[in-house]
Chain A
Amino acid sequence: MAKARLIGDRTNKMMVQAMERRAADVRGRVFQITLLVTLLISLFILGVLIVDVVVDAWGVLTGRPSGFLTGTMRSLSGDPKLGVHQALVGTFWIAVFVAVFAFPIGIGAAIWLEEYALKNRFTRFIELNIRNLAGVPSIVYGLLGLFLFVKSLGGLTGGKSIASAGITLAILVLPIVIITAQEAIRAVPQGLKEGAYGVGATKWTMIRSQVLPYAAPGIFTGTLLSMSRGIGEAAPLLLVGAVSGRLGSNPGFFDFSAINAEAFMAMPVIIVEWVQNSGRDPGFAEAAAAAIVVLLVFVILMNAAAIFLRNHFEKKRG
């Protein structure tokens, strides 16, 4: 009885009306569409770039792919021995230098900052500066490399060499490596650390057995992505001595004596070089596009490695 009266109640009817009157959320809708548009714009620009480069490079890539990969720098675009081999070798070794120098130093610094450093004003000052260093223009690192590694330490690095370039780029990506590794380490749950301490682990044991395995996927992703960024840099390499014009030598991938030899080439620099040459010899535009595709593939392979390593370590951490 009471129930029936409630259902027929006027207030109930009003409630039903209010609930059924679903007003269009105009502002929310506009916001959502705007976000979608921004995403589409970025994807569109990226798509145009890739299509444009691949179309330009199509002739070279389909005509003589292996000749282009094994060929060397030439003064004429029509030369059948024109290719990126010297630049690929240079970029490969620069990547190795970045991995050898930036990764251990960067990850070590990150562990110190997150696990050992006192959380005081001095530490915050250091962290702020690392963030600022990540934003310093790459040409500034090129200047540093020129004065420090080419001039002052020229005896060790061989002057304008792959070694100088590699260490310079390692320093360029170091702040990014530190920051990404720090974020990965910070994401380790406090419960895991306390669990390890709780059964009598020392700090070092706790870090080795809990923090590093848990943070490994994030550290690997971040560091390899930062390396991808580093090897695409042309500006600092121009300062530390990537040659322009012709490069006489053509060392193999595992020709270690070439590492501190006084001449080298790298992918971003060869692209700049050929784009400049296309003014007098339009055929170089096609070669530059093909070189861009090669560099893109190189970077995509490295990112694929990053994803593979991340999945591997994620599976390992359970």
Chain B
Amino acid sequence: MEQAEPEASPRLGLDIDRTMQAAVPNSTGDTVFEVEDLNVYYGDFRAVQDATFTVYEHEITAMIGPSGCGKTTVLRCFNRMNDLIPTARVEGRLDFRKVPIYDPRVDPVEVRRRIGMVFQKPNPFPKSIYDNIAFGPRVCGMAKKKSDLDDIVEQSLNRAALWDEVKDRLKDSALGLSGGQQQRLCIARAIAVDPDVLLMDEPCSALDPIATARIEDLMQEIKNDYTIVIVTHNMQQAARISNRTAFFTAQLDSITDQRCGLLVEYDRTETIFSNPSDERTENYVTGRFG
């Protein structure tokens, strides 16, 4: 049904909409996030202005744009991570599988369990590799027996393509791993609680090209089970891995007279990179951004 009437690219009432109807690989066409007129404020400062787009199941959705364009802010709205910033305020509609997650009745802890997150800087806990993975299942009460927990740890590390490298030293500190291994550990930690969505905030920006390639391969593998939203500064990365791309930019807000994040264009990745409908998008993806 969703495929017949796709809600993608709602900002653009252009003929691009018709190209959206082409089948997307792996996609079931179900929507995961529906964002409408999303505004995010930090105190009086408006960080994101009227963002409207839809994230589809089993796709990788990339958010690109220059620094300060609000893409990370939008990402952190998806699992209510912005709640940790006391001055942050979110307005507009943000539905996760038809549930408005900013409804007062919604428990942010439950939201974050279903919508996992991988951060820009690998942030393993200063505990053993095993305890890093087991932390989530433990706090969520997922494993009744030790053997269940062992299984979850092994499966998660396997999925994150890290098991073979660490299986003999699960009791060692996670801080002894290399940067790339730490980031895969963080991915394993995120998928250990069996989330629906993985949010990734520039997960490769601290990694070398080889480690980056491994993470990208990993994302392609796991997107059959999860929906991935990734913020990246690396346009080639967005082009390589994502199904859809949202291009954000920062522009002067006429009301507050401050720079504010704006969603310029949202479309299938091929379209964004080969035939964007907005000049600003074209300038950015071709490297002519002013």
**Does B186 have its Cβ within 8 Å of any Cβ on chain A?**
yes
**Does A199 have its Cβ within 8 Å of any Cβ on chain B?**
yes
Q: Which residues of A contact B117 (CB under 8 A)?
A: 194, 198
Which of B19-27, B47-55, B133-141 contacts the other chain?
Answer: B133-141
Q: Which residues of A contact B79 (CB under 8 A)?
A: 198
Are A192 and B125 in contact, CB atoms less than 8 angstroms apart?
A: yes
Size of the A side of the interface (Cβ < 8 Å), in residues, is 22
Q: Which residues of B contact A318 (CB under 8 A)?
A: 126-128, 173-175
Given A118-B86, A200-B113, A318-B174, does the pair A195, B123 have CB atoms closer than 8 Å? yes
Are B84 and A194 in contact, CB atoms less than 8 angstroms apart?
A: yes
**Does B190 have its Cβ within 8 Å of any Cβ on chain A?**
yes
A45 to B175, CA, bound (A): 43
Which of A15-23, A68-76, A202-210, A286-294 contacts the other chain?
Answer: A202-210
Distance in angstroms from A199 CB to nearest chain B CB is: 3
- The secondary-structure label for the interface of chain A is helix
Are B193 and A199 in contact, CB atoms less than 8 angstroms apart?
A: yes
**Does B81 have its Cβ within 8 Å of any Cβ on chain A?**
yes
**Does A13 have its Cβ within 8 Å of any Cβ on chain B?**
no
**Does A196 have its Cβ within 8 Å of any Cβ on chain B?**
yes
Distance in angstroms from A127 CB to nearest chain B CB is: 16
Distance in angstroms from A190 CB to nearest chain B CB is: 8
Size of the B side of the interface (Cβ < 8 Å), in residues, is 30
Question: Which residue in chain A gives the minimum CB-CB distance to B127?
Answer: A318
Q: Which residues of B contact A200 (CB under 8 A)?
A: 109-110, 112-113, 136, 139-140, 193
Question: Which residue in chain A gives the minimum CB-CB distance to B135?
Answer: A199
Distance in angstroms from A40 CB to nearest chain B CB is: 39
Are A199 and B190 in contact, CB atoms less than 8 angstroms apart?
A: yes
17 further interface pairs, Cβ-Cβ under 8 Å (given A195-B189, A318-B174): A191-B119, A191-B123, A192-B123, A192-B126, A194-B117, A195-B124, A196-B125, A197-B112, A198-B81, A198-B112, A199-B139, A200-B140, A205-B139, A317-B126, A318-B126, A318-B173, A318-B175
- The residues of A with any CB-CB pair to B shorter than 8 Å are 118-119, 189, 191-202, 205, 209-210, 213-214, 317-318
- The residues of B with any CB-CB pair to A shorter than 8 Å are 79, 81, 84, 86, 109-110, 112-113, 116-117, 119, 121, 123-128, 135-136, 139-140, 173-175, 186, 189-190, 192-193
Q: What are 21 contact pairs spanning A and B, CB under 8 A? A: A118-B86, A119-B86, A189-B123, A194-B123, A196-B125, A197-B81, A197-B84, A197-B109, A198-B81, A199-B113, A199-B136, A199-B140, A199-B190, A199-B192, A200-B110, A200-B112, A200-B139, A200-B140, A317-B126, A318-B127, A318-B173
